Each structure stands twice: as C-alpha cells, then as structure tokens.
Structure 1
Amino acid sequence: MSAAESADVFHRARGRTLDAFSPEKEREWKGPFYFVQGADTQFGLMKAWSTGNCDTGGDEWGQEIRLTEQAVEAINKLSPKPKFFVLCGDLVHAMPGTPWRKEQTRDLQHVLKAVDQDIPLVLVSGNHDLGNAPTAETVEEFRQTWGDDYFSFWVGGVLFLVLNSQLLYDASRCPALKQAQDRWLDQQLSIAGQKQCRHAVVFQHIPLFLHSIDEDDDYFNLTKTVRKELVDKLTRAGVRAVFSGHYHRNAGGTYQNLDMVVSSAIGCQLGQDTHGLRVVAITADKIVHRYYSLDELSRGAVEADLKELLKE
C-alpha cells in the first residue's frame, strides 16, 4: 500500500492536528469516555529477537500480523466503542533504509485498515520508525507514510498531545526539528496551564522514566536532564498522564501528580507480560487504566470493567 493509498484508510495527522476530531465540537466536557492504547506492533522483531540478530534480522513477521489482527478484532467488538485507538510507536522493526521496511509497512497498514472506521487511529512515532538518531529525511518519510510526528487533538474536553520522543532522545542530526517541537509544545502546554481543558494527556514512544524520576539513564528512558526538564513543564501545565511503550514490558511510576504509564507490546515481549492493550477511562476527576492480554480482550473481559471504570 502506497502512502497515497494509506491516506484513504487513516485519519492521518496533518497541520499538527488530527482531522478525525473537530476541535470546535470536542473542547467541551461531555462525560466519561475511554480509549485503547497499544504499542510496539514492531513487525519483524519476534524473529529477530529469537535469532539474537536484532540489527539485521527480522525477515519474518507472521506472528506480529496475527497478534495485531487479534488486537484489531477485539477492539472492534468493544461496546461502547472506544473514542480512539492509539499506537505508541515502533510500528515496524526495520529501521529507515533497511531491508523489509516497505513490506512490513505495507502489511501493517493492511491489518490496520480493518479497524472500525468509527474508531480513529492515533499513530505515534518510535525509534524504529524514525531511526535512533532521526534526520529530516526519516521524519519526512514517517509523515508521508503515517502522518505528523507530533500533533494535538481534543476529545470531550480533554487535550491530547502526541510527541516525537526521538527528538528528545537524540536530535543531533536534526536540531531545527527539535527546536520546532519545543516551541510547539510550549504553546500547547500554555492552553493546559490556563485550565482550558478538563485534563491534558501526553502520548510518546520512549518513557520519561520506567519507575522513578531519579533512575539512571538507560536505553529505555530519556536522560535525567531531558526528563526532568520535560516533567517540570508537564506538571506545571497540569498534565495528568504520559502513556508510552518502547520497553516491551509494563512499568511506570508517579512524579508529583503525573502518572507515567509504560505499556507492554502487542508484538514481541521482552519480559513476563502478555501481548496486550491498555484500556484507559477518563472521568471528570480521574484517569484510570488497566492492561489486558489480547486473550482477555478477545473473550470480552473488558466490558464489565468499563461500567465501573466510566462511573463518575
């Protein structure tokens, strides 16, 4: 599927917003709702991980296709429907310019095409989508294929911010792009800081931290300097939660009033968690969430919980 063809399938973010939602209609609180978060479909990693060749392996992704199909089928059956389905990065495993990237992208787009058209997709960029040190060219490729790498949108009085966390991780090859995102983020956070939204929520691929704001720098988190600067900005603006992936395990912690939520993968697991998705309910006062295995979702285990989660 070409980028042009995918435009007919996805509500791709353009102009730093998502046209699936009207900002004029969605700025007012209308009562509790929920969305579904997934991460790391990462077509190709399961084969690469099993062979110990994560740099050049990954020439098969049938397992990831089946798991993502199971996720899509389970989401489509949810009642009531989620407001949207967000994928927090590493959509495919093949890095920019490496073999199998086009094929993995084509196959993932084919699977995602089956998502109910009444459930908009929110697509977040990860390190495998942009490269560990992104360039203007790799960011542009992502934009053409999947949509903007950072943007905001409103749903039911809640402001959602999608960040390109690679620009926070290593922007050495595209410093101007990082500066542009920084300016944009400050503008968006001023809206949240003025209490013009019921809640503000952030999506990104790399977690700010896995367990604690003071933990050591790691491949799976942002550096202390970057994380503390960003966390201070977010907490000052009243952001309540940051949802991420990247770790291929469930993790997370809190800092002041900020909930850092790290969700495990739809695809390859690097720990003891199951392939799964996170269901996130937003009420007037709270943001509550639970991670479900794909098998639990397929069995309809979430519906009973939703009634409780969505209580005011």
Structure 2
Amino acid sequence: MVQINKYIIISLLIFFISCTERKQIPFSFVQLCDTQLGTGGYDHSLNSFKMAVKQINKLNHDFVVICGDLVNNPNDSSFSDFKEIMKGFKMPCYTAPGNHDVGNIPNDTSLKYYRKTIGKDYYKFKNKGYSFIVTNTQLWKVNVENESKKHDNWFKKTLKDKSVNDNPVVVIGHYPLYLETFEEKEAYYNLPLTKRKEILNLFKQYNVKAYLTGHTHETVINNYENIQLISGSATSKNFDKSPLGFRVWKVRLDTITHYFEPLQSTIIEKNDLENN
C-alpha cells in the first residue's frame, strides 16, 4: 500500500512538472529591418531609426531584433552612430549582420571588424519558452573559406541541441530564402537553391516556426509547410514606396503571429530629437 502511494505521488509530480515546463508565458517582440544608416539620405535614415526607437519604447515588448544591414557603409562613424541610437532602446536589442555590414563577399578583415565593432555575428538566446537563433546569412549566400563551414556546423549543432528544439524555434537573419516560389532561381534577393533546400529541411526537422529576415526593403510574406518566412519593411527606405515601419510579433505557446506597425513620422523635428 505504501509502495502504491509512493508510485502515485511520483507520477503526479512528474505530471505537474511536465505541465509546468510546457506552460509558456505570452510575450511580444519587434522585428526591425535595414536601418541601413546612409540609405535614403544619412540624416533621414538616422532620424527614422531614432523615431523607431522612440516609438517602440512606448510599447510593452520584450526585445527587438534587427535583421541586418545596420549601416550602408561600415565604418567607425556609421557604426558609432548606429550603436549610439541602439543604446536608446529600453529593452534588449539583438542584431544580425547584413551584406552591407560584412560585405557581399565577407573576408577575414570585414568579419573581424564587425565582430570587434558590433559583436557576435551568430549566436542564440531564449525568451519565455522560445529559442531564437541569430545567423550570418552572408555565409550562406557565398562560400567563405573556413567561415561558412564553421557557421554551418554551428547552426546544425544548435538546431539539434535538445535544449533548443524542445522549444519552438525562431531563426533570424538577413537574406530571405526565396521571394515568390521555393524553386525560383538564385538572384540578389534570395539564397542559392541548394542551400535553400538544406535550410528548409533543417527547419522542418527541428521545430522552427518562423524565419525573420530583411534585405528586400519591402514586406515579403511566405509560408512553407507552416513555417512563416517574413522579410519586413525597412526603417531607412522601401523600394516599393510603402510606409517605413517594423513588425510586431505576438507569441503564445506554439502560436506566433505578426502585424505591421508604421513609423509615426519619418520627419522628426529638431526639438523632438533633442528631447530623446
């Protein structure tokens, strides 16, 4: 009788622990794309980024991700301006590198400069029951000796890590996998077809719910076998003349949805800047 009671107690404990582990606290975060200081006029892109920070700070979000092309021309001045504005966020901000940040064909010099000036170009973090993986998609777009293989090995190892894929996973990068169709030819705005197939197979296998990118300077929304593939509008300049802005993501357990939030204004008065 005592043994039976012990068995029941242990079973109940396991059940309650399991339920507790699956409980996920709802949260929201922001996807910013292509702040790209210097595009559309330096002062314009600078002010638009400042407005985005100010607007986002008024909202109750957990964190911000910036999907690459932080600046147009990577140098001490532009990266310094970027970091100074980014410091204004009242919540954590995670950045991914874009082709303008590390070069269309990255090399040891450009990668070392980014890592020294901005920080890691690929890494992971968690938030309230979700896993986030930040990638350097330029190492997928082109084969950089040693670096691309190292990045690929890290990405696969990270996805296979049970502590990561036990949670729903969101991958963050700069380059979209494709724009219109899965089988489309490789061009400037997408990844090579072979690499595209490899990545999507990994996404399907390891609980990836969404892949967030930039690069397109317009909103591109695709869905591949229930995996959301979203390239967001820029805060610097949209090539399709659409409003500048950012995407807000709402997360509830296995449900992750998003909506567009336009910038309140892309022209900021001098007094408004001085009050930030």
The interval holding the TM-score normalised by the smaller chain is 0.7 to 0.9
Query: Superposition pairs for residues 291-302 of structure 1, below 5 Å?
Result: 291-295=260-264
Residues 109 and 216 of structure 1: CA distance in aligned 2, closer, same or farther (over 3 Å): same
- Amino-acid identity (%): 31
Write the letter of the residue equivalent to 1:103.
S
- Counterpart of 1:24? none
**How big is each residue's C-alpha offset from its partner over 1:16-72, in whole Å with a ceiling of 9 and x where there is no partner?**
xxxxxxxxxxx975411010010101111213xxxxxxxxxxxxx100111011100
Is 1:70 the counterpart of 2:64? The answer is no
Post-superposition CA distance 1:143-192 (Å, at most 9, x none): 11111100011111111000100000112xx3211111111111111136
Secondary structure at the aligned position of 2:208 is classed as coil
Tell me the amino acid that sits aligned with residue 122 of structure 1: Y
Structure 1 unaligned regions, length at least 5? 1-26, 48-60, 96-100, 297-312
Does structure 1 residue 104 correspond to structure 2 residue 85? Answer: no
Does the CA contact (< 8 Å) of 2:159 and 2:165 recur in 1? no
TM value normalised by structure 2: 0.85
Runs of 4+ in 1 over 6 A off after TM superposition: none
Instruction: Please state how far the C-alpha of 1:128 moved relative to its aligned partner.
Output: 0.4
Contact kept in structure 2, 1:70 and 1:294, CA below 8 Å: yes
Counterpart CA distance in 1 for 2:165 and 2:141 is: 29
Secondary structure at the aligned position of 2:126 is classed as: strand
Q: Which amino acid aligns with 2:104?
A: N
- Please tell me whether the aligned partners of residues 192 and 238 of structure 1 are also in contact (alpha carbons under 8 angstroms): no
Looking at structure 1, the residues matched to 165 and 96 of structure 2 have their Cα atoms a distance apart, in angstroms, of 25
Map 1:247-286 onto structure 2 (within 5 A): 247-286=216-255
1:140-155 equivalence runs, <5 A:
140-155=112-127
CA change 1:261–1:234 in 2 (3 A) is same
TM-score normalised per structure 1: 0.75
1:20-59 aligned within 5 A:
29-47=23-41
The secondary structure found in structure 1 opposite 2:30 is: strand
Whether contact under 8 Å (2:24, 2:252) holds in the other structure is no
What letter corresponds to residue 114 of structure 1 in structure 2?
Answer: G
Secondary structure of 1:45's partner?
Answer: coil
Structure 2 distance, partners of 1:129, 1:75, is 23
Q: Is the 8 A contact 1:64 1:267 kept in 2?
A: yes
In 1, Cα distance between equivalents of 2:164 and 2:28: 24
Alignment of 1:222-261 (within 5 A): 222-261=191-230
Q: Which residue of 1 aligns with 2:105?
A: 133
Cα contact 1:241–1:260 (8 A) shared by 2: yes
Alignment of 1:88-99 (within 5 A): 88-95=67-74
CA deviations over 1:50-99 (Å, ceiling 9, x no partner): xxxxxxxxxxx100111011100011111xx211111110000015xxxx
For 2:155 and 2:193, how far apart are their aligned partners in 1? 19
Structure 2 residue identity aligned to 1:94: N
In the aligned structure 2, how far is the partner of 1:175 from the partner of 1:256?
33
Matched, 1:196 2:166: yes
Alpha carbons of 1:120 and 1:46: their partners in 2 closer, same or farther (altered >3 Å)? Answer: same
SS of corresponding position for 2:94: strand
Partner of 2:141: 169
Query: In terms of Rg, which structure is larger?
Result: 2
1:255 aligned partner, one-letter code: Y
Asked if structure 2 preserves the Cα contact closer than 8 Å seen for 1:212 and 1:254, the reply is: no
Q: Partner residue of 2:13?
A: none
Q: Distance in 1 between matches of 2:115 and 2:85?
A: 19
Q: List alignment gaps of at least 5 residues for structure 2.
A: 1-20, 266-276
| Number of residue pairs the alignment of both structures matches | 246
